[in-house]
A = this chain, B = another copy of it.
């Protein structure tokens, strides 16, 4: 018999009916003799309702009071789910983050877990009860309620699984697993049986919004087997298992790449002809960072003449105008260079741990794009990822042709 930590997000517990469905699913695991800890989010819409109330009162409410406020969302769900479990004959007890003893630092609204006390929780499991824990929240050393930030319920689940040494942490979501590409634009995309933490990290940061990045990092660090499953199917599928990469014993079958991610909500900016002297990158990016603009890809090529260089980076599309104005000032101050930019871009990335040991991934990628008349605007690579920036209009074409070229297409 195994110990499972199961996490259900806001949509999965979005109504009384859906809470009852979750209780049925959890009850089935319990009936099979497994121990189950359930982590839940606030009912969908509830957190926004609370934030809206706060905004009507204060433009910038104190983070401590925001945490006090929004943490009630999960508290409602845990009580309702415990009731639903008991209604179905499954003994259950709910705990807030503070009651479990999820100790965090004092960074309200974005706290990080420092320690988890599992004694209370284990005692209830030993009594044959399902334990229902409020996700997303904890308590600091002074007893103030903290929250882990949006999506933090995944992190709660993984942290509990690590602390309890659970056999598996199951994240129920509105998709039935991790796909080789977005099925909405690539009909040949297929569900992955498994994927490594590293690949998942690259895919997650790329907009495959299946899991919170922090929870994947956490799971990787503590080697907690993580499974993504759908909470919307009655016939539960196996989902996708996210596991540690066994670098010393790579599988013979390991595919070169695991998936293709794409993102179309970025814009690119370039300073043409910036002086090629030490510190220029910091001079360009410092003011951007001061404006709280997050930068994704950064590309600087060698200076062809040793005097000036072109420096490019991408930002969220909504930040484009602010970034452009900031850069213009920088260029004025530098007394050199010119700002150009483009908002109609897409980023397409190949991800795969297999890439490490295979040459030729980049060349096949570039050749495939070229064969389809797609011009590459920027390139950036990491150990297990190659990203290119292309014109936005080519997004679907690029994803589909790369999916085929790398042998990812579903066979049925």
Question: What is the interface of chain A, defined by CB distance below 8 A to chain B?
Answer: 16, 19-20, 50, 53-54, 56-58, 61-62, 64-66, 68-69, 71-72, 75-76, 78-80, 82-84, 86-87, 93-94, 96, 98-99, 120, 143-145
Contact = CB atoms under 8 A, between A and B. Distances in A.
Given A62-B86, A143-B99, A54 B80 contact: yes
A83 B99 contact: no
B16 A56 contact: yes
A76 B50 contact: yes
A250 B56 CA distance: 52
Given A57-B20, A143-B99, A79 B69 contact: yes
Nearest to A71: B75
15 contacts: A16-B57, A50-B76, A53-B80, A54-B80, A57-B80, A57-B83, A58-B84, A58-B86, A62-B86, A68-B75, A68-B94, A68-B96, A69-B83, A75-B75, A99-B144
Contact of A65 (B53, B69, B79): B79
Given A61-B86, A65-B94, 8 more contacts: A19-B57, A50-B76, A54-B79, A62-B83, A65-B83, A66-B79, A68-B94, A72-B76
A53 to B, nearest CB: 6
A20 B57 CA distance: 7
B58 A68 contact: no
A127 to B, nearest CB: 14
A350 B412 CA distance: 88
Contacts of A66: 79
A76 B69 contact: yes
